[in-house]
Structures are given as C-alpha cells and as structure tokens.
Amino acid sequence: MRLPFPLVEDPDDASRERGRKLFAGEVDFLKGVVAMSGLPPDDRIEVCFAGRSNVGKSSLINAVTGRKALARASNTPGRTQEINFFTVGDDRYLVDLPGYGYANAPVNVVEKWQALLKQYLSGRASLRRAFVLIDSRHGIKPVDDEIMTLLDKSAVTFQVVLTKSDKIKPSQHDAVLDQVREKLSKHPAAFPELISTSSEKGDGIATLRAVIAGIT
C-alpha cells in the first residue's frame, strides 16, 4: 500500500543535472521588500521558502544555492522582516519569506509583518509553489497549520520540506512523518510528496534542486 504524502524519490540523472545546472549559474540577491509596492515584476517563475524561526531556512537556501552566505541567518529569531528576492538564472525568483512563530519582535512589527506575508501569499500571480519548512525534530506545529490554511485559501500549492533530518534517529523520523502526513491530509493545497533534507550533511539537497528546476 502506497503511503499518503510519500518522500520524493531520488531524481534521475537528467533531473539531477538540470537542478545542478540551474544553481551552478547566476544566483544573486535582488532586493528586500517591506511593502507590496516594492515587489519586482511578476514576469518569471517564482518559488518561496516559508518556515518558523530557527527551522533552518537560511541554511537550507544557502545549501540549495551552493552559496555559503546568500541568505543570512539571524542570531535573533524573527529579526529578518523583509521578503527577500533572489534571481536564479534569467527566468526564476527564489523568495525568502520572513520567519514566523517568533517571540521577541514588538507586537506592532509582528502585525505589519503578518499582513505583508498574507498579502504576498494571496496576491502573487507568478508564485508557483511555496516550500513550507518543518523541523524534523518537532513536526507540524499550530503556527505551521495557520500558514498552510492561508495557502489553502490562497490556492497556492505548497510542499513540505523537512529540515535537520540528521538531528533525529530513524525511528523518530518515522513518527514525525506520520504526524506530518496526518496534518497534511486536511490541507487541499498540499503537494502530495515530501522532501527530507539536512543542510549540514547535504541530504536531499540534490532532490530539492531537481524539484525546483522542474517547476514550470
């Protein structure tokens, strides 16, 4: 019996090479956006990365792009308050969304930030897929469910990427997968395959590159 939301199979040689070539080319920071009026033209394929603070988003973006400091991790969770756009080649944007689930930002900053996030996710025509990052040690938390529900309502396909898979035992990983699959069954916008990654060990990075390269 095939499990719901299986892990993505390893890419074949052609897909792996397509992903490698995409990120071996030019990848550059374009701009940070603090209001919808600052968004670049929606004239290319766009994917975004969303996740709780401390989920390992910056590390994953750096691993996928092969650039050690393209996305900057903050020592203070929730400090990066901009939507950061990166150009990948000449036909894609990779978008780094502000971390959510933060505790240390002022209330007025959090409210402004949440409003921008919701406006972007519900109003960006060129957004093909959101990658929602989930810490393998913790599974899906209520704040993740909120973002997924927003993506459902916005009709934005999202795919769960498990991070820090090297930090837990295989038996724990299976339990987290069961929890994630159960939660995702309630979200109509959820893409039907999961990706498991470790930025530190490099696990799943080639797979994620191939998936991004295959989005049209």
Segment 133-160, tens digit of pLDDT? 999 999 999 999 989 999 999 999 999 9
Write down the pTM of the prediction.
0.92
How far is the CA of 161 from the CAs of 10, 42, 62, 193, 199, in angstroms?
Answer: 14, 24, 15, 9, 12
Please report which confidence band the pLDDT of residue 30 belongs to, taking 50, 70 and 90 as the band edges: very high
pLDDT in tens, 55-80: 999 999 999 999 887 876 555 444 46
pLDDT tops 80 at residue 46: yes
The kind and range of the H/E element at 134 are: strand 127-135
Q: What are phi and psi of 142, to 5 degrees?
A: -55, -40
Sign of the C-alpha dihedral, residues 22, 50, 75, 180? negative
Q: What is the pLDDT of residue 2?
A: 59
Sign of the C-alpha dihedral, residues 70, 87, 187, 185? negative
Rounded to the nearest integer, the mean pLDDT of the chain is 90
Return the DSSP state at 38.
Answer: G
Q: What is the pLDDT of residue 105?
A: 67
The kind and range of the H/E element at 162 are: strand 158-163
Cβ contact 53:101 at 8 Å: yes
Q: Which of 91-105, 125-139, 156-170, 189-203 bottoms out in mean pLDDT, i.e. has the lowest? A: 91-105
Average pLDDT over residues 30-41: 92
Query: Which has more confidence, 71 or 184?
Result: 184
User: Sheet containing 27-33: which strands, arranged edge to edge?
Assistant: 27-33, 83-88, 92-96, 45-51, 127-135, 158-163, 195-196
Q: What is the pLDDT of residue 199?
A: 95
Return the DSSP state at 36.
Answer: G
Q: What is the pLDDT of residue 1?
A: 47
Tokens of 27: 């990848």
Cβ burial of 162 (10 Å; 0-12, 13-18, 19+) is buried
